[in-house]
Amino acid sequence: MNLRHSVVAWPLRRAGCATPAVFARLADMGFTALEMARPDEWAAAQSAGLRLLNVAAPREAAGLGSVAEHPHVLAAIRETIHRAADAAIGNVVVFSGDRCGVSDSAGAEACVRGLDALAAESADARVVLLLEILGTPDHPDYLAARSRFVFDVVAWVGADSVRALYDVYHAKRMGEDPVADLRARAPLVGHMHVAGAPGRRAPHVPQDIDYGAVVGAALGAGYDGWWGQEFILGGDPFRELGDARRSFERYADASAAARGRTA
């Protein structure tokens, strides 16, 4: 079974290997998209055969969770939507911002209000807004740190142009159960990011996440989007990324076989 595999650009830049030659090699290895690339990387990625999968809206302390900041925040997201549409990039990653003393209920209401104001415009631009979960161990005080928060906001907006970016690493670091999350609410997920936990290394290395179970839960619940590798690269980035891709293909094959036995 073939999954759709993508690579997030910032770990490549951190490892000093976000170059045209590297993009070409990633495409040869079976990756089909690059995520969160900078505009100066777009042409090289596309020339290598990689789809530009998404672009991130500005992430600041004040985000969608602050109604008082909506004039500034929504304007920045709108600008990003139009920039993405002009470049044929189909997804914009958006952020709740930090909690700054706001309760979950008030913050969620503010996020719903902001995303609802953007949903029709985003749909007209053929761009999907992805609200990302970011755990507080890595992003202290981030408001949308719990999967329930993100899923509830997306469900309350109720628009096809607004979905969750479910980051398995961040969910696990928050003590959540990714398998249960995906079984229950996979239709709300527009994209996935994966990495091992707690060290954010390659996801196929034995750590605290059973990615075979995660892949099985997601595919069993109907998820058919990309699997975005977003882990800190070590001494041999190509080996690590290749091993991760192959591991996820094995997980998918095992899941398909299991579903066939129980059909």
pLDDT of residue 263: 54
Q: What is the pLDDT of residues 107-135, one digit of tens each?
A: 999 999 999 999 999 999 999 999 999 99
Residue 261 pLDDT > 80: no
- In order of their start, the domains of the chain are 4-262 (3.20.20.150)
Cβ proximity of 173 and 140 under 8 Å = no
* SS3 annotation, 145-185: CCHHHHHHHHHHHCCCCEEEEEEHHHHHHCCCCHHHHHHHH
Q: What is the pLDDT of residues 39-88, one digit of tens each?
A: 999 999 999 999 999 999 999 898 999 999 999 999 999 999 999 999 99
pLDDT of residue 260: 75
Cβ proximity of 249 and 241 under 8 Å = no
pLDDT of residue 204: 82
Average pLDDT over residues 13-38: 96
Residue 262 pLDDT > 90: no
User: Which element (helix H / strand E) includes 86?
Assistant: helix 70-86
Average pLDDT, whole number, for the chain?
Answer: 95
Q: What is the pLDDT of residues 128-180, one digit of tens each?
A: 999 999 999 999 999 999 999 999 999 999 999 999 999 999 999 999 999 99
A 10 A CB-CB count for 79 gives 12
User: Which element (helix H / strand E) includes 34?
Assistant: strand 33-35
Phi, psi at 37, each rounded to 5°: -70, 150
CA atoms within 13 A on the CB side of 171: 26
Q: How confident is the model at residue 207 (pLDDT cuts 50, 70, 90)?
A: confident
Please indicate, yes or no, whether the overall pTM of this predicted structure exceeds 0.85: yes
A 10 A CB-CB count for 69 gives 19
Which of 150-154, 185-189, 256-260 has the lowest average pLDDT?
A: 256-260
A 10 A CB-CB count for 175 gives 9
Q: How far apart are CA 192 and CA 248, in angstroms?
A: 13
Cβ proximity of 1 and 253 under 8 Å = yes
- What SS3 class is residue 142? strand
Residue 215 pLDDT > 90: yes
